[in-house]
Amino acid sequence: MSERLDSYVRAAAVGQLPDGGDRILLDATLVAGKRKVSAKMEVPAIEGSAKAFRAGQVTATLDMQEEGVSTRAKLASPLAGSIERQQFELPKLTAAINVTNPKLPKSPIEATVNGALAVDLAKQTANLTYATKFDESTINGRAGLAKLAPPSYTFDVNIDRLDMDRYLPKSASAKEAPKVQPKAGTAGEQPIDLSALKDLNANGTLRIGALKVANVKTSNVRLDVRAAAGRMDISPIAASLYQGTLAGGLTVDAKAAPTFVVRQKLTGINIGPLLQDLAENDMLEGKGNVVLDVTAQGNTVSALKKALNGTSSVRLTDGALKGINIAGSIRSAKAKLGVLRGEQVQQANKTEKTDFSELSGTFNIKNGVAHNSDLAMKSPLLRVGGEGAIDIGNDSIDYLIKASIVGTTKGQGGRELADLQGVTVPVRVAGPLDAPSYKLDFAALATDAAKQKLEATVRDQVEKRLGGGSKDGKSGGDLGDRLKGLFGR
């Protein structure tokens, strides 16, 4: 085999390749640790000269085994080129690929690729155009090397649809998952491995017509990727999802402790289905905008959550806070005011909800805890404010909602709620994010209602003594303001 190759090299040096002759066979096996790679290549007799040569069907097979994963590939194409110009071409390349991995939801994975490959050693470039039908996906595009050593990759990929969940490793369902998650840095949690990014130099674009990943469904996806010196920037990230759009970027830095920077704006999103698909969380519904600008650094997912810093904001319309009917709870509380003092705790009830016409709030996130002090929720019946914190690192919430009755509608409280107009009810939301408890402070409700009634009684008596107030009504207004101050309202 080596003598045959040497003859081609010597002939190329004088500008003439031997006609006819025997085929060339290459056979190699490499074993490294748990990985075993076997490769074979067969080149038929080469005809022509060093200026221009050609050969019939070149075939190559690759077989790789590693920890239960088997990858087999078979390639075939005619060969042409020029040794003088250091150019080589596989103009009609076909490749059959088979990957078997028992840990994947779908196994084996098979694909047949058709394309063309051109290599220019003088310019240190390589270009591949291809098209394939892969499982449910139709894929086409180009890939190449702008520089062979060190490799600098380029790509432009188009995929009609892709369900990544079919190819990601199997994991326990939410019902089967342990309730106590391993702490950051413990042996039970896998570290994030970004070693492949450290020497990666790449530039390209990925477009996907319909994409599903982590059960989130998107369409019209576009990712522009640039990677160099251990850092990868994906910007823009653009997609349509849940009746809205996403626009933003992601930066990953493969330091000793990996750093992630996420800047995203979701516009016109239907938040309910998104939260259900992404986190199996059914606490909120509505349509609107969400803005996220955060940074995190850590070696595990838990560490990243606890090191999250940045800001976020949400503005939704025509939605509902699910798990509690605040107006209904206040109505129930009103009936108990004469006998009940203290607090009542109730678990979230997925059949209950508090509708709103508008909801907005901003969050300052520090060390994995999102703090909010400007919650504003409006509905025909209620005005709701609030402040508190969401502990992202520990998946818990501690939040104080202050709800006030501002109006009534028949069938939604009627006279019972009219009697409580202006009364503020504190509602403490606390516990795990997936099952928080709601604590209504009925004692505070009783106190506020008593203050309101006493204020009205005092106002009536004072106005009577003053002869009903001034004609222009200004004195009455001033009096009301002073009484509110007197009673701490």
User: Is a pLDDT exceeding 50 seen at residue 223?
Assistant: yes
Q: What is the pLDDT of residues 235-245, one digit of tens each?
A: 999 999 999 99
**Residue 453: pLDDT above 90?**
no
CB atoms near residue 418 (< 10 Å):
11
* pLDDT digits 0-9 by tens, 151-197: 999 999 999 999 998 887 765 433 344 444 444 444 567 888 888 88
Residues 58-75, mean pLDDT to the nearest whole number: 90
CA distance 196 to 198: 6
Segments making up each domain of the chain, as ranges: 1-159, 319-486
Confidence at residue 410, expressed as pLDDT on a 0 to 100 scale: 47
144-156: average pLDDT: 92
| Whether pLDDT at 478 is above 50 | yes
More confident residue, 150 or 344: 150
What six digits make up the tokens of 468?
């009903």
Q: What is the mean pLDDT of residues 48-54?
A: 88
Question: Higher-confidence residue: 128 or 477?
Answer: 128
Q: Would the pLDDT of 320 be above 90? A: no
E strand or H helix at 261, and its extent? strand 259-270
Reply yes or no on whether the pLDDT at 2 is more than 60: no
Q: Which of 367, 359, 216, 356 is nearest to 281 (CA)?
A: 216
Give the rounded distance of the alpha carbon of 13 from its chain centre: 57
Sign of CA dihedral 292, 298, 301, 303: negative
CB neighbours of residue 283 within 10 Å: 23
Pairing relationship of beta strands 69-82 and 87-100 according to DSSP bridges? antiparallel
CA neighbor of 303 nearest in space, from 399, 185, 132: 185
Higher pLDDT pick, 341 / 263: 263
Higher-pLDDT residue of 170, 488: 170
Question: Does residue 348 contact residue 438 with C-beta atoms inside 8 Å?
Answer: yes
Helical packing angle, 442-465 and 474-486, nearest 10° = 140
The fraction of the chain above a pLDDT of 90, given in percent, is 42
Q: What is the DSSP letter of 166?
A: G
What pLDDT, on the 0 to 100 scale, is given for residue 196? Answer: 86
**Per-residue model confidence (pLDDT) at position 189:** 79
* Residue 241: per-residue pLDDT: 94
Confidence at residue 252, expressed as pLDDT on a 0 to 100 scale: 95
Buried b vs exposed e over 456-470: b needs ≥16 C-beta within 10 Å? eeebeeeeeeeeebe
Mean pLDDT (whole number) for 464-483: 55
- Span 262-312, pLDDT tens digits: 999 999 999 999 988 988 877 889 999 999 999 999 999 899 999 999 999
